[in-house]
Amino acid sequence: MEPEYDPDAEGELPWPDRHAGVLLHPTSLPGRFGIGDLGPEAHSFVEWLASAGQSLWQVLPLGPPGLGDSPYSARSAFAGNTLLVSPEKLVTEGLLEPAEIVGGPGNDGGLVDFPAVAAWKDGLLRTAFRRFSRAGAWDDVAAFEAENADWLPDYALYEALRGEDPRAWWEWPAAIAGRDPGALAAARARLAGEMRYQVFGQWLFARQWQSVRNHAGQRGVRIVGDIPIFVARDSADTWANRGIFKLDGEGLPEVVAGVPPDAFSATGQLWGNPLYDWEVLRADGYGWWTRRLEKTLEMVDLVRLDHFRGFVAAWEVPYAEETAVRGRWAPGPGREVFAALEARLGRLPIVVEDLGVITADVRQLRDELGYPGMKVLQFAFGDDARNPYLPHNIEANALIYTGTHDNDTTASWAASLPGWQRQRVLAYTGGADAGDIVTGLIRAAYASVAKMAMVPMQDVLRLGNEARMNVPGVAGGNWSWRFRWSQVHHDHGAFLRECAELYGRAH
């Protein structure tokens, strides 16, 4: 029986024993509709995880993707991605006819063509909406709308306005961009039907996602979600909450987010996200952040908090700059925001993304809060035995990965290693499995003292660079990889189960 969780136990997650899981975004699931979705294949994946002895399923942010089809540039921090709505489930519910879901964009597996999928899914959802509206069964949707009244009306209006004018919100007519009450009232009246459609889509997503999550819970699989610290500039969040960001009177950013120059980039990285006005958020008791985390925890069991160092200090760059060189470290709220969140929500099931060049004050805050950090084995073999990512140097309160969604696949990474580094990896992992570095690193992750071990599905399947999910700093061609069940052999699941049982992670 699982130990009872003590919310006052410093540094403890709600499940203190050892776990292992697989990183796979739902868009990467198989299926015949051009993109992974929340239908039968998602439920099959839950069953596969359970059969492989896994108790964690990590996903990327579940919001509607924005610029570059990135889940980290979502059009809302609260809404769900309706591209994930399952056509098959809509047929089961009588909202679509079987013939209407034939001939979608793409076959089983293959890369996601996001524009084609978006256009096709929109047509299906509008057909389902018309049938649902004629049936008059709006009570459940109205209840969902009431439960999400703090964000859903603004999101529905934002999406409806985007349908009229696909430009960024700050390029809309000034009265709408500036949220003039009279202009918004007129827009709501004009677009009432479209707003109801947007609400309907969110209701569908929420129902289907909770079905998958409930199934996972019944099979002993917990969902690990993801919160990017920053939101997209062109998002419902920024448009509807301008006061909590460092924006000028016209809605333009005063400063934007990035990272300073380093060994990888002489000009740093200019992300372009608006930065928070933490003083305004503090005056409100961090209400927006509280609701954001609360909403995420309605959908997942554990949250990976991206760019944790930004809560200590964020690199802010004047808006007019073309590179990140002329930025500065702007102090964040530090422990105060987490104290406010925990006062409202209780002990937070959080893992913090603390990768990259992390300063002592960031490590200190992480340790004071007691949240697990992240360890990535692909980072462990570039120098000597003191490397902090080597399993013998990590602490138990951690989540260890072979690689993440931002890394190359481990097979491709291993193939690119210089000879001395490859030999170092093989020596460290015992040179087992005929020099198979992927197998060796999976074993090393499971054998480590880290409380949680995570392996991307690409590494489970031993896939190469063709299966990479994201290349940071590259604007296009990311996020589209999908697997096929024909790639999954019995040995893949059996090996994960063997490791989970051997190293005390099986449930």
Please state whether beta strands 222-227 and 56-58 pair in parallel, antiparallel, or not at all (unpaired): parallel
Choosing from 113, 306, 321, 395, the catalytic residue is: 306
Cα separation, 131 vs 126, in Å, equals 9
Q: Is 88 a catalytic residue?
A: no
Choosing from 41, 353, 408, 459, the catalytic residue is: 353
Place of tokens 């709220």: 333
Q: Is 306 a catalytic residue?
A: yes
Within 8 A by CB and 6+ apart from 320, the residues are none
Closest to 286 measured CA to CA, from 236, 340, 250, 210: 340
DSSP string, 314-331: EEEEETT-SSSTT-EEEE
HSE (CB half, 13 Å, CA atoms) of 295? 23
Under 8 Å between Cβ of 233 and 74? no
Output the CA angle 176-145-285, nearest 5 degrees: 75
Q: Is 113 a catalytic residue?
A: no
Q: Is 53 left (phi over 0), alpha (psi -120 to 50) or beta?
A: left
How is the beta sheet containing 255-259 ordered, strand by strand?
269-274, 255-259, 313-318, 328-331
Q: Is 21 left (phi over 0), alpha (psi -120 to 50) or beta?
A: beta
The first and second tokens of residue 115, run together, are 């524009």
The first and second tokens of residue 263, run together, are 């060994």
Supply the DSSP symbol for 67. Answer: G
Closest to 279 measured CA to CA, from 314, 239, 245, 235: 245
Under 8 Å between Cβ of 28 and 84? no
Cα separation, 98 vs 445, in Å, equals 44
Cα separation, 437 vs 283, in Å, equals 51
Please state whether beta strands 373-376 and 452-456 pair in parallel, antiparallel, or not at all (unpaired): unpaired
Helix (H) or strand (E) holding 217: helix 192-218
Place of tokens 């080597």: 390
CB atoms within 10 A of CB 292: 18
Closest to 59 measured CA to CA, from 213, 183, 211, 259: 213
Supply the DSSP symbol for 187. Answer: H
Choosing from 93, 406, 436, 498, the catalytic residue is: 406
**Burial label, 248 (beta-carbon count in 10 A; 0-12, 13-18, 19+):** exposed
**Burial label, 357 (beta-carbon count in 10 A; 0-12, 13-18, 19+):** exposed
Annotated catalytic residues are 306, 353, 406
